[in-house]
Amino acid sequence: MIINDLLRKEIFPLGIGAWGLGGFAEKDLNIDYKAQIEAVVYMISKGMNLTEVNLWNSEGQSVEILNKAYNLSGITRDELVIHQAIYNHRNPKFKDAKNELNQILEIFETDYVDALEFNSACYKQYDKSEIFDFYHEALDSRKIKSVSVTNASLELLKELCKEFGDKMFAHELTYNFEIRANEDLGLTKFAEENSILNIVYQPLRRNRTAKRNWPLLVELAEKYGKTQNQIILNWLVSKSFLPLFKSQSKSHIDENLGHLNSKWMQRI
């Protein structure tokens, strides 16, 4: 587990992704609601304690599922890492975006979220100084413990780091076996050098990477007796990245976690 000095919590090497939980951009009324709750409870039982929560995803249904799963899991608030994301898509005005923090605090019946992030588009739609002021206000009132960002440019990441220093927690970004542009742009390296956690969404590209049977992945999977997805997750974790994934299948969850308890981990 990662010991994070800022949060003073142990963070499991893999996080719970919310995209697809309860639907995608819109609420899916045909999902197996109970099965999705049970899947999250199962992931928590395996030690996974960080998840992104946001009210845009599935029009808030993912948040409902996560909250019910937390209540059923028996996990304590001190163990849980709530990483809240605010998107501009459903918030035409900044006051609407700001209000999402209070909504999450009310839904999860907590006094704080561990980290709060705005996606990069928010910095184009709203005044940057307003966002910074809001962060400082929320930090001072202890409604948030730290600051994160999604899909930042290197310039924005540097600005946030300069403004918030050791209160910067994470940069959530795309990075996987097939897409490494954020490494080429210097974003992952800057984060590492400044103790900012690289949180990776779509690390497996919803299984699309494994289906392509890249020769290197096939070779390594055969060599170590692991699946291609396990090879990818091991590689990301060995780089100190934190991949997010979501699954409704216990067998897929077990597969994704199967790279963590073996001697071969970090040998690749």
pLDDT tens digits for range 7-66:
989 999 999 999 999 999 999 999 999 999 999 999 999 999 999 999 999 999 999 999
Contacts of residue 145, defined as CB under 8 A and 6 or more positions apart, other chains included, come to 6, 7, 112, 113, 114, 115, 139, 169
Give domain limits for the chain: 2-257
pLDDT-based confidence at residue 268 (cuts at 50, 70, 90): very low
pLDDT-based confidence at residue 1 (cuts at 50, 70, 90): confident
Distance of alpha carbon 191 from alpha carbon 177, whole angstroms: 19
> Which helix (DSSP H) or strand (DSSP E) does residue 242 occupy?
strand 242-245
Distance of alpha carbon 88 from alpha carbon 30, whole angstroms: 26
pLDDT-based confidence at residue 267 (cuts at 50, 70, 90): very low
Q: Check residue 201 and give its pLDDT.
A: 97
pLDDT-based confidence at residue 247 (cuts at 50, 70, 90): very high
Handedness of CA 69, 71, 77, 79 (dihedral sign): negative
Q: What would the pLDDT profile of 93-138 be if each residue is shown by its tens digit? A: 999 999 999 999 999 999 999 999 999 999 999 999 999 999 999 9
Q: What is the mean pLDDT of the chain?
A: 95
Under 8 Å between Cβ of 169 and 147: yes
Candidates 1.10.3470.10, 3.40.50.300, 3.40.50.720, 3.20.20.100; correct CATH number of 2-257?
A: 3.20.20.100
To the nearest 10 degrees (0 to 180), the angle between helices 94-107 and 61-73 is 30
Instruction: Name the nearest CA neighbour of 84 among 101, 98, 96, 68.
Output: 101
Distance of alpha carbon 220 from alpha carbon 217, whole angstroms: 5
